[in-house]
Each structure stands twice: as C-alpha cells, then as structure tokens.
Structure 1
Amino acid sequence: MADHINLVKLCVGIDTFEELNAYIEATPGASRGHVTRMWPKQEEKLLNGGSLYWVIKGVIQARQTIVGLHEVIGHDGVRRCRIELAKPLIRTQNAQRRPFQGWRYLKPEDAPADLPQGRKSEPELPAELAQTLAEIGIV
C-alpha cells in the first residue's frame, strides 16, 4: 500500500495542457503553487511523494509533484494554505472527472498513470466507446 496521497483540483479558466504549462513556466518560483482556503489534514502523506492532479475541461490531464505546504495570511486576515508545486507539469493518461468544488484527495491506486515522456496524448478512442467507458467510471 502506498504511503502517500494525492490531490485532484479543477483547473478553472484553462482550456489545454499547453495553456496550463505556459502559465506555470511564466510564474516566478516564489509564487508558484495553488492557494486554498483549507489546510490538508493529510499533510504528511502529501509531502511523502504526493502530486496535485489537474482537471482540465472535465478530464485529468496533468499532475505536479507537491513539494511543500505554506501558511499564507490573506488580505482579509484569514489563514490559507499555499500548495507549492514542482516543475515540470507532467502529462497523464486522461481520466474523466465530474465537476466539484475545492480539491479532493486522490488515492494512488485511483490516479491516472503518467504518459511516456515526449508523448503528447493518448490515442483517441471512438467517441461512443469513450462516452460509455466514462459513464461506467473506467476512463
């Protein structure tokens, strides 16, 4: 059994892997990451090899390794958590995800595998087959 846990998060306002990657590359290191209202309770497991999996347009398409959790006090005085994320953005196999708010834990056995380096996408399944598989929770 894995001794780490992952997070999954919707990537709002981003339409493609390339767009997210360009945003990450343009972001200075000190501010890189994602700020969230809630502090993850499974902090130790996240920092033991966990990743943040990005849902782009309803599909997990990428991940970044979590390298730290840092306290940030907002302009409103509220304590938040900045999830520090490593470069590079790593392409994963596509995995359908329904909309949700915030972030969710993602067990390692439920996380999509990384695509081989240099591969930009998976071969396309016929639309009807892809839809059927998504409906039963396989892709």
Structure 2
Amino acid sequence: MKNWVNIVKLSVGTDDVAGLAAWQDTRHAQTADGYPRHITRMWPKRGDEILNGGSIYWVIKGVIQCRQPILRLDEVIGNDGIRRCAIVSKPGLIRVAATPRRAFQGWRYLSAEDAPADLTAQQQAETALPPELSKALADIGVR
C-alpha cells in the first residue's frame, strides 16, 4: 500500500496540457524561487500525506491529463489578509492515461491506488491528442 495521497484539481480556462505549461511559465504562476504554484483557499488537512510523495493531477476539459509532484505547501496571505495555501510543484508536466473526471469546485484528494498511470516515455514524446478526442476515448475505456 502506498503511503501518500494526491490532489486532483481542475485547470480552469486551460484548453490543453501545453496551455497549462504556458500558464505555469508566467511569473504570476510561480513562487519567488521560480517553482509553479497553485493558490487555493483551503489548506489540505492531509498535508503530511501529500508531501510524502503526492502529486497534483490536472483535469483539463473533463479529463485528468497530467500531473506534477508536489514539493511543498506554502502559506500565502492575500491583499485581503486571508491565509491561503500555495501548492508548489516540481516544474514540468507528466502526462498520464486520460481519465474522465466530472467538474467539481476546489480540489479533491486522490488515492495513490486510484491515480491514473503515467504514460510511457515513448507516449510522453508523442503529440497529445486533442482534449475532446482524449475525453471521448477515455469515456469508452480506451486510454
């Protein structure tokens, strides 16, 4: 049994994995030390499990398409004085087997056992399918 937990998060406004990568390359989406981050209102109660090997799995156009290992959870205080959590990830996106996922708000935990498998090195090098096709194939069980 794996002793970590992952997070699954919608990448709102993203059309494909390349779009998420482009967003993460912007200064606004990075920590002061240059790592990609996602700021969220809620602080994970299972932070120790997440930091024990967990990743953030990104849902793009209704399909989990990629992941990033989580490095740390940083406290961020907004201009409004509210404490938030920055989920700081390792740079680079690892494509995973396309897995349909319905829309939800915020983020959800994803057990290591339920997480989609990484694509092979050869599959990683291939051009990604369009999100709509990837979702259609995943919906019928073809990954």
Superposition TM-score, scaled by structure 2 size: 0.83
> In structure 2, what is the Cα distance between the partners aligned to 1:97 and 1:25?
25
> In structure 2, what is the Cα distance between the partners aligned to 1:120 and 1:112?
19
SS of aligned partner of 1:100: coil
SS of aligned partner of 1:45: helix
Q: Gaps (5+ residues) in structure 2?
A: none
Instruction: Tell me the C-alpha RMSD between the 2 structures.
Output: 2.2
Report how far residue 112 of structure 1 moved. Answer: 0.5
Q: Does the alignment pair 1:119 with 2:123?
A: no
What code does the residue aligned with 1:97 have?
R
Aligned to 1:52: 56
Aligned to 1:7: 7
How many residues get paired? 132
What code does the residue aligned with 2:84 have?
R
Counterpart mapping for 1:1-139 below 5 A: 1-27=1-27, 28-30=30-32, 32-117=36-121, 118-121=125-128, 130-133=138-141
Q: Gaps (5+ residues) in structure 1?
A: none
After superposition, the C-alpha distances for 1:79-128 in whole angstroms (9 at most, x for unaligned) are 11001011111111100000100000000111101112223447x78x5x
Aligned structure 1 segments of 4 or more residues deviating by more than 3 angstroms: 26-29, 119-122, 129-133
